[in-house]
Amino acid sequence: MALEDTLQVKSSPIEKHQGSFLLALEGDLDSSNAQDTIKYVQNMTEQQGLVNLVADFSRLRYINSTGLGAILRISKLLLSKKGSFKIASPNENVFEVIEIVGANRLLSIYQTLDEAIDSLG
């Protein structure tokens, strides 16, 4: 699904973990699509029973402060439902933005997708 022209979002269930989904983001997460990304995940919680989310950032080129705010809101939403939010494979530029504002202390970030999925338990 395209959120604006700058971000592609695909979701799929993680087979071994009920209520867990993989969210693959490709492109740029910024003010043009941050609200739509939040709504997309909210709909997943309401319609598909999403509790745990692993976000694959390997193809996310760019994130700005608005996009980071969306990520933090998604994390807070899932934690409020006694779930979890994991980030996998952020590139150096994306991780740097997360780290500069100290959000790396608030988010669970893994170098690989397998590590993030394995952390679900």
The pairing of beta strand 84-88 with beta strand 52-63: parallel
Number of domains in the chain: 1
- One DSSP character per residue, 27-96 reads EEESTTTHHHHHHHHHHHHHHS---EEEEEEEEEEEE-HHHHHHHHHHHHHHHHTT-EEEEE---HHHHH
Q: What are phi and psi of 51, to 5 degrees?
A: -125, -45
Residues of the domain holding 97: 2-118
pTM across the whole model: 0.94
Residue 113 sits in a domain of what CATH number? 3.30.750.24
Reported as a single tens digit per residue, the pLDDT across 49-59 is 999 999 999 99
Q: Could you read off the pLDDT tens digit of each residue along the chain, which spans 121 residues?
A: 666 689 999 999 999 999 999 999 999 999 999 999 999 999 999 999 999 999 999 999 999 999 999 999 999 999 999 999 999 999 999 999 999 999 999 999 999 999 999 999 7
